[in-house]
Amino acid sequence: MKDRIVSAEVLVCSPTRNFVTLKVVTADGVVGYGDATLNGRELSVASYLRDHVAPLLIGRDPSRIEDTWQYLYRGVYWRRGPVTMAAIGAVDVALWDIKGKTLGQPVYQLLGGAVRDRILSYTHATGWDTAELLDSINAKRAIGFQAVRAQSGVPGLDSVYGVHRGAQGYEPAGRGAYPVEETWDTDAYLNHVPGVLAAVRDHVGPELKILHDAHHRLTPQQAARLGKSVEDLDLYWLEDLTPAEDQNALRLVRQHTTTPLAIGEVFNTIWDCHHLISENLIDFIRVAIVHAGGISHVRKIFALAEVHQVRGGPHGPSDVSPITLGASVHLGMATPNFGIQEFMGYDPLVDEVFPHAWSFDDGYLTPGEQPGIGVEMNEELASLYPYEPAYLPVARRRDGSMTDW
Ligand code: EZ4
Ligand code: CO
């Protein structure tokens, strides 16, 4: 007899930061986990799942992954958007996890099997000044990374995206009832950052892959100027140069520079990026498995990208759970045009709450051979860390007007 879903439960926990997890259980006792974390808006996805999706899952055949995706996407009328798509993403990953466990296979095998032995990954290096940034890069290289995202402070600004405060590693979300307000000055940033990236290239030599994230803060003209000014540094990519809503913004940038462009961590569907991909306006598409509808949908985005020589470079910050990272690594193993996986790393407590078969070694990630996604949840430990309100910062220009964070 066909197995049936008998429960779908939403687990919200905050082991150093908030995570939303969907736990799906079948009549045969198979448990699948999906990540539904949407940084700073966690409870909205928890409610969407708990109040509107979980009841519809009960009694469904868990093997019908694509049909369930279509049911939750097309069956709602109100399509797309980060909340809806993170909820669908969580269901999708939980069902792939169940399928893998039911068939006794790691998910990458079900996606067609390995096309590579391991997944190249990059991590974040950060410093308030160039000397500190170079130390941070040295430390990341010492643990094996061959690709590093370099972010530095900007003279005259007290907080800058991607740069840590105090002794802790960088974590953009801050606990508390209100978002932190930061002051941002794009001119100061543009005057400073090309010199920093040049110093980084000079320090590391030609081999290390260097990436940089402008976090949606530039106009197309400013972005084109930045791309041009760092062209000789042979960056692996410049990320999120312009706000991501405007799919035409990168055309001007493209016309002026050969620096590779990456975008898409805030995209939810293939409809957010099909133009960028099919018009060859980007080199890397950065959708996260959780925020773009799960493995089933991101697989389609990557397939479209393959036609246009665009590579996958999924988002992998600390705010997507180890379940999403595992799902991303499985998909990467089976995707010919996969480029690189962001791997910010997790607090040891997060690794303990989500014990995982995936592992990092010598700059590469591998999914492990555990059936399913290979990430479980220590629910008892998680329950000791209840949800805490936390927000990403907001940014204002020097004149007080709001700008993109
Ligand atoms: O700011 O995940 O490339 N990585 C990033 C991240 C994002 C956060 C937002 O939740 O841009 O650090
Ligand atoms: Co980014």
State the CATH number of the domain containing residue 170. 3.20.20.120
CA of 106 to the centre of ligand 1 (A): 28
Please provide residue 269's backbone torsions phi and psi, each rounded to the nearest 5 degrees. -145, 170
How far apart, in whole angstroms, are the C-alpha atoms of residue 118 and residue 258? 28
Pocket perturbation via mutation, ligand 1, pick of 35, 161, 215 by most ligand atoms within 8 A of CB: 215
Other CB atoms closer than 10 Å to residue 308's CB: what's the count?
17
Q: DSSP code of 32?
A: E
How far apart, in whole angstroms, are the C-alpha atoms of residue 199 and residue 193? 10
Regarding whether 97 and 121 lie in a shared domain, the answer is: no
Verify whether ligand 1 is closer than 6 Å to residue 316 (CB atom). Answer: no
Cβ 153 vs Cβ 125: under 8 Å? no
- Establish if 343 belongs to a structural domain: yes
Cβ 11 vs Cβ 32: under 8 Å? no
Does the predicted TM-score (pTM) go above 0.85?
A: yes
Regarding whether 60 and 204 lie in a shared domain, the answer is: no
Residue 247's pLDDT is what? 86
Regarding whether 362 and 234 lie in a shared domain, the answer is: yes
Which ligand has its closest atom nearest to the C-alpha of 40?
A: 1
Verify whether ligand 1 is closer than 6 Å to residue 172 (CB atom). Answer: yes
Burial class (CB in 10 A: 0-12, 13-18, 19+), 213: buried
Residue of the nearest CA to atom 6 in ligand 1?
317
Q: 21 forms bridges with which residues in the sheet?
A: 11, 35
How far apart, in whole angstroms, are the C-alpha atoms of residue 309 and residue 232? 22
Regarding whether 156 and 252 lie in a shared domain, the answer is: yes
- Establish if 72 belongs to a structural domain: yes
Q: Which atom of ligand 1 is nearest to the CA of 39?
A: 10
Residue of the nearest CA to atom 1 in ligand 1?
172
Burial class (CB in 10 A: 0-12, 13-18, 19+), 350: buried
Regarding whether 223 and 211 lie in a shared domain, the answer is: yes
Verify whether ligand 1 is closer than 6 Å to residue 317 (CB atom). Answer: yes
Regarding whether 165 and 70 lie in a shared domain, the answer is: no
Q: DSSP code of 360?
A: E
Q: 262 forms bridges with which residues in the sheet?
A: 239, 284
Cβ 104 vs Cβ 37: under 8 Å? no
Residue 25's pLDDT is what? 99
Verify whether ligand 1 is closer than 6 Å to residue 265 (CB atom). Answer: yes
Residue 280's pLDDT is what? 97
- Establish if 145 belongs to a structural domain: yes
Regarding whether 60 and 134 lie in a shared domain, the answer is: no
Regarding whether 257 and 137 lie in a shared domain, the answer is: yes
- Enzyme catalytic residues: 161, 215
- Establish if 271 belongs to a structural domain: yes
Total number of domains constituting the chain = 2
Regarding whether 74 and 62 lie in a shared domain, the answer is: yes
Secondary structure percentages of the chain, helix, strand, coil, to 5: 35, 20, 45
CB-side exposure of 98: number of CA atoms within 13 Å?
31
**What is the span of the domain harbouring residue 90?**
5-106
Residue 167's pLDDT is what? 64
How far apart, in whole angstroms, are the C-alpha atoms of residue 309 and residue 298? 16
CA of 367 to the centre of ligand 1 (A): 22
Q: How many angstroms from the chain centroid is the CA of residue 162?
A: 14
Regarding whether 159 and 56 lie in a shared domain, the answer is: no
Regarding whether 53 and 162 lie in a shared domain, the answer is: no
CATH number of the structural domain spanning residue 43: 3.30.390.10
Residue 170's pLDDT is what? 81
CA of 33 to the centre of ligand 2 (A): 25
CA of 314 to the centre of ligand 2 (A): 10
CA of 79 to the centre of ligand 2 (A): 24
- Establish if 195 belongs to a structural domain: yes
Provide the angle, in degrees to the nearest 10, between the axes of the packed helices 322-333 and 82-103. Answer: 70
Regarding whether 35 and 133 lie in a shared domain, the answer is: no
Residue of the nearest CA to atom 8 in ligand 1?
317
Average pLDDT of each block of 10 consecutive residues along the chain (405 residues)?
Answer: 95 98 98 98 98 98 98 96 98 99 98 98 97 97 98 95 79 92 97 98 98 97 98 98 91 97 98 97 98 98 98 97 98 98 97 98 98 98 98 97 96
